[in-house]
Amino acid sequence: MQDATAATVEDEDLPARTSRLDRRRAAAAGCPEVASEAGHPSPAPSAPDRILLSGYARTRLFCTFATMAPILLSGLVVSAWLPAASIVVWTAVALCAHALLAVLCLCFRGPNPIETRLWASLFVFAELLCGLSWAGLLILLSPERGIDPAVPQLAVMLFVVAAGTTFAAALPAAATAATAPVALTMVALLAQRHAPLYLVLAFLAIGTEILFLSLSQRLHRSMRNGLSHRAEQARLAGQLAAARAASKQSLRIADEANLARSRFLASVNHELRTPLNAILGFSELMKNEVLGPMQNGTYRDYAGDIHASGSHLLSLIDEVLDFSGLEAGRYELDEAPVDLGEIVVACEMSVATRVRQRAQRLTIEIEPNLPKLRADPRGIRQIALNLLSNANKFAPAEGEIIVRVGWTAGGGQYVSVSDNGPGIPATEIPTILSPFGRGETSIRMAEPGIGIGLPIAVAITALHGGTFELSSTSGEGTTALACFPRSRVLVQDPATPAATEDNVLLWRSAS
């Protein structure tokens, strides 16, 4: 009974809990593949009945002494009114009936139980015999014996009804079989006496039987509902374990694939850089005519094109390797004091040639007396260079690019790059910030690149504990903003002044 009663709960909210259980079952039914992977098939319809019947047998076997002791006690009490022979016969019959029930419960606990329905019928029959034995005691205590047995009869009936409905709650038919003979016998004996008091007691006996049977049914429903919840939890636990195992397997496969990719990239990096360095070196010698003038100027121009294309290819290789390290979480910051303004100016020199080729105007505004940052110089340079390169690509010919470096409102520092290009629709910004994502504008303009410059800038900024924002208006331009937290500023400026026209170093205006 302990296994069965452990699942019993107060079920005033039984409809609500049942509906929740139905919803979980419906959700699970919508994922049959998960159930099959978990290896937990749906239990057979008789499984709850089997468990409840097993709980009933354990309870009855455990309470054998609690039911047989009252038989002996009742025989001792009624010996004051009944002949000894009648008491001995009734006691023997009652003990035999309860012993038969105990033997059946003991046999049911064996390793090879018979069909559930057959065992349930046997238990009901044994309970009926027990109930009839108690009904026999009520008959023996009839008024014909010259006594008024109403009080002892009611006491016996209440004990049998309470014990029977409680101990046999897991098997409602057995509870009815154990208590109905006693209750009906009590009603019949009281009704025969025709006195108003006894008629009232008869109705009370009927009401008591109905009340205890309804409580037994309610307890049975609680047990069954509890078992359903336990089965559902076990099934969901199995599915969760299977999903966790599948997740670990997928993670292991992903780690292996990531390791293989890293090895491949390292190998490709070595294999590509070796001939590429030679190409860059020889093409630079040729375009600069280090070994002597070239007779054909077209060849010299071709050598310059080769060097430019090789340099672009080398930058793409570096970006792919950096992004691979960032994605795998193996990018480590080599922190050192960094002057954000100096790095921006150095990066401007790297794109100055392309800016002049497109007749663009590039302006750098740096707030004075900015302290240094504790940051990765290479990473900060890559952020600034990527932002400048993007602005150079998408700003129109004779367009304008503005770079600003200064204080944030929270005492940190920022670098922003704005252009007056075609802008980016708001719906495309998530795509552009995703790895290898390119917007319609870049595709339409056929600008070179593989779409990882901004994701690299976002990732490196995040590694520094900063934030990256990309704002744009179609037809007006785009602004990329990388902010670094106050904790990375090596010398805190108590004023942290805002940028104004008088408080800005106008570093360069190239056109």
pLDDT value of residue 334: 83
Question: Confidence class of residue 277 from pLDDT cuts 50, 70 and 90?
Answer: confident
**CATH homologous superfamily, domain 336-510:** Histidine kinase-like ATPase, C-terminal domain (3.30.565.10)
Centre a 10 Å sphere on the Cβ of residue 447 and count the other Cβ atoms it contains: 14
pLDDT tens digits for range 488-503: 998 754 444 444 444 4
Higher pLDDT, 297 or 398: 398
Residue 319 CA, distance from chain mean position: 35
Check whether 171 has a pLDDT greater than 90.
no
Q: What proportion of the chain, given as a percentage, has pLDDT over 90?
A: 8
The pLDDT of residue 390 is 84
* Cβ atoms 508, 404 nearer than 8 A: no
The predicted model gives 36-53 an average pLDDT of 56
Residue 328, pLDDT score? 62
Segment 65-91 mean pLDDT:
81
Give the span between the Cα atoms of 15 and 21, in whole angstroms: 10
pLDDT of residue 481: 92
- HEC states along 157-212? HHHHHHHHHHHCCCCHHHHHHHHHHHHHHHHHHHHCCCCHHHHHHHHHHHHHHHHH
pLDDT surpasses 80 at 159? yes
Residue 453 structure tokens: 């410059």
Please check the confidence at residue 220 and state whether its pLDDT lies above 60: yes
pLDDT, residue 103, reads 86
pLDDT at 38: 39
**Which pLDDT score is estimated for 405?**
93
Q: How far is CA 376 from CA 92, 318, 331, in A?
A: 95, 16, 11
Higher pLDDT, 284 or 146: 284
User: What are 354-376's pLDDT values in tens digits?
Assistant: 888 888 898 899 998 889 889 98
Q: 291 pLDDT band (50/70/90 cuts)? A: confident
> How confident is residue 507, by pLDDT bands cut at 50, 70 and 90?
very low
pLDDT at 82 over 50: yes
Of the candidates 55, 56, 24, the one whose C-alpha atom is nearest the C-alpha of residue 229 is 24
Q: Which residue has the higher pLDDT, 31 or 488?
A: 488
Tell me the sheet residues that pair with 403: 364, 417
Per the CB < 8 A criterion, the answer to whether 68 and 98 are in contact is yes
Q: Is the pLDDT of residue 345 over 70?
A: yes
Give every CB contact of residue 123 below 8 A, 6+ residues apart in sequence. 53, 56, 57, 60, 101, 104, 105, 171, 174
pLDDT at 432 over 50: yes
Asked if 149 and 187 touch (Cβ cutoff 8 Å), the reply is no
* Greatest mean pLDDT among 7-21, 274-288, 435-449: 274-288
In this predicted model, what pLDDT tens digit does every residue of 448-499 receive, in sequence order? Answer: 566 777 888 888 888 889 999 988 887 788 899 999 999 999 875 444 444 4
Q: What is the mean pLDDT of the chain?
A: 77
What pLDDT is attached to residue 145? Answer: 54
Q: Return d(Cα 246, Cα 237) in angstroms, integer.
A: 14
**pLDDT, average across residues 88-117:** 79
Domain boundaries along the sequence of the chain: 2-6+45-242, 336-510
Q: Average of pLDDT values for 14-25?
A: 46
For residue 482, the model assigns a pLDDT of 93
* pLDDT score of 124: 87
SS (H, E, C) 16-52: HHHHHHHHHHHHHHCCHHHHHHHCCCCCCCCHHHHHH
Q: Does the pLDDT at position 295 exceed 80?
A: no
Give residue 32's pLDDT band: very low, low, confident or very high (50, 70, 90).
Answer: very low
Q: What is the rounded CA–CA span in Å between residue 8 and residue 197? A: 38
- Res. 403 pLDDT band, cuts 50 70 90: very high
Residue 407, pLDDT score: 92
Rounded to two decimals, what is the model's pTM? 0.47
Predicted pLDDT at 15? 44
